Amino acid sequence: MISTGYSEEEIKTLVKMYRTLLRKMRPVLKEGDAKIIRKAFNFALEAHKNDRRKSGEPYVYHPISVAMICVEEMGLGTTSVLAALLHDVVEDTHYTIEDIREHFGEKVARIVDGLTKIKVTMSKTPTIQAENFRKVLLTIAEDARVILIKIADRLHNMRTLDSMPKDKQLKIAAETEYLYAPLAHRLGLYSIKSELEDLYLKYADPSAYEEVVSKLKNSEEARKRFIRMFSRPIEEALQKEGFKFIIKSRTKSIRSIYNKMKRQNISFEEVYDLFAIRIILQDIPYEQEKKACWTVYSIVTDFYTPNTERTRDWITIPKANGYESLHTTVMSKSGKWVEVQIRTERMDDIAEKGYAAHWKYKDKSGITTEQGIELWLNHVREMLEKNDTSAMEFMDDFRSNLFQDEIFVFTPKGEMKMLPVNASVLDFAFLVHSEIGAKCIGAKINNKLVPITHKLQNGDQVEILTSAKARPNESWLKYVVTSRARSKIKDLIKEDKKQIANYGKEIVARKLAQLKVPFGEKTIQQMMEYFNQKTEFDLFYSIGSEMIPHNEIKAFYDATQRLESTRITKRTDDASLIKKEIKALTGNDELIIGDTNGLDLEYSFAQCCRPIPGDEIFGFATSTNGIKIHRVSCPNATKLMANYSYRILKAKWASQKFIQEFDVLLHVEGTDRIGVINEITQVIANKKVNILTIDMKAHDGIFSGSIGLSVHDRAELDELIRQLENIKGIVNIAREDEITAQST
């Protein structure tokens, strides 16, 4: 069965993995499935026989594990398992899509093709990761299993990230946090979404991750005792009513606990909702589910007083990703708030396995829970049909709607529509039809006239008002939150701007030709950065409309030439060139900040996060401004690592004590009283730390503001913060960028 290239011990492991996979698939296997799965298993073994992972184990363990996730954690079937087993064959071996098609059929080949990354023969570009992901999403139009397998692939990569170098860990984790976790959330894969976020924290902030894990472990027995006492009267009452059920607890994810601690500036012990009680009703017919869940709600609230403001009915109106459950938060006898989730087995299956589970129930009479996700997938297909949106624009628009909560509103005829929270009249108008959106001048909401900027509320009945003279403009983009409305408005504006942009492009091409500079992607990217333009279109439009004077193109050329006269900036966007230069002189590819070892490297510290010695850092090779040093916890780090991973440089601080001082900005909040600011400045003066700026404001008994300081390193800053926290009335004190990151 197993080809050469594997040790005896590895063969035993592979046989065990194969048998486990088949055993897990047994409930969904049809006649002939086992035979074709064995064929795909052997095909993958042969194709990857010479491949090893960074850990040293056979590479084929990875596709087998991905297939296992598809079966066990997503509930997918035979076609998905075949594609998962073969998903890296075309990318990493000599086999082609035609080989897959010949041996396993068109459907499997199409999925594998969607999962295969774009082969790049040219130099890397800033958009290549966005293009790769766009290609995966394109296959959604034909088969949504592509994206599910892609998420399973990413989950296994995150589970086995320990063997990768630190810089690779950060890049992969950042990409996961930036895109894959929100995508899993949107597809209803809550367990996978939580695990991806937890694993991101494990690599982005190991100490914070370990702190939460340790405290969860230490408090586990106390939680179990509390849950048993809380659940006992509910269990007895449910049994008397004749319900078949399971009661289990769900601990809040590590990342969610950490975020709450940071956002509210509280300790682990102060997080009241560490867990939820989940009541899962068994053997309930679909048509009786709603009644049964509300009956259980009544039983729970007979014993415990509910907080009516925290009751959520996602059974009557499911979330857009299909999630159904009845949530309530009740006060326990010991004075603790406890969230109780009530659902049926069908609802729990969908909550755990998301989009994949919908297919199991799709043909049952009356069930329409897949509608929300289907509507969203149809919208993704619409976005993908657009040919004039850059990959980066697409990625940003796509991501913007992944994590939004929903509201429901009604048309004049009573048809219900789902929209994100904070959606406006314009969002609704474009949801109804692009033409209606384009001519919208306002609306009647519950028979009251409102402007296009008005934000909709749950239950609103909306009648759109239009005018033939209306025309979208740039300001409309400020009033919409849906990617559909945003992309349609941009399209309509672009129609007017295209001629100007084409004219601007001709000017750029002509000017660059005169300067003997190639009109290529690298030059355009440099111009975008130099002129602070987000897209190529914006650049050409600004030049065509003379918002950027034409003689500024010569100024750009002169600035670029000055930068390229230095050794480091000959190819500042080529991190691989810099790594080779560092490695040739130091023996490794890590940039040592504070000790250049004779390297003629220019770098500066990013103002978005102001790194200081002691912070975990990385380098980012910009196109025009040399190397920027960022903190790993920088608010922009995730996006930089996810979208420009090839520009990332490993970096660390030199071991010696720094004589120079570094600027930091502290955000301070507290209760206002006479002398509190004086106490703050006195503590800082006693630590012999120089104050650069101080900006404080007070309102209604609360003061807040910022203090700019010069410190030598992280240890000095941390000690200062600890002493400031001891001042009476101080509620929160942290570095300014950390406050910004928590609010985004």
| Catalytically active residues, by annotation | 91-92
State the Cα–Cα distance between residues 708 and 695, nearest whole angstrom. Answer: 9
Both tokens of 307, joined, read: 């907080």
At 222, the amino acid letter reads A
Chain center to CA of 175 = 7
Give 664's DSSP letter: E
Supply angle C-alpha 228, 233, 236, rounded to 5: 105
Structure tokens at 334: 């010991």
Cα–Cα distance for residue pair 311/684, rounded to 1 Å: 47
- Contact between 6 and 49 under an 8 Å Cβ cutoff? The reply is yes
- CB-side neighbour CA atoms (13 Å) of 599: 25
Q: The tokens 């904070």 sit on which residue?
A: 422
CA separation for the pair 282, 689 (Å, rounded): 64
Q: In angstroms, rounded to a whole number, what is the distance separating the alpha carbons of residues 55 and 17? A: 18
Residue 487 and residue 386 in contact, taking contact as beta carbons nearer than 8 Å? yes
Find, among 264, 274, 281, the residue nearest to 315 by Cα: 281
Give the Cα separation of 182 and 180 in Å (integer): 6
In sequence order, what are the beta bridge partners of 618? 630, 650
Decide if 665 contacts 609 (C-beta within 8 A).
no
Q: How far is 377 from 187, CA to CA, in rounded Å? A: 10
Residue 609: which residues within 8 A CB-CB, separation 6 or more? 630, 631, 633, 634, 635, 636, 637, 737
Question: In sequence order, what are the beta bridge partners of 328?
Answer: 340
What residues contact 141, with CB distance under 8 A and at least 6 apart?
Answer: 381, 384
Q: Contact 569/602 with Cβ under 8 angstroms?
A: yes
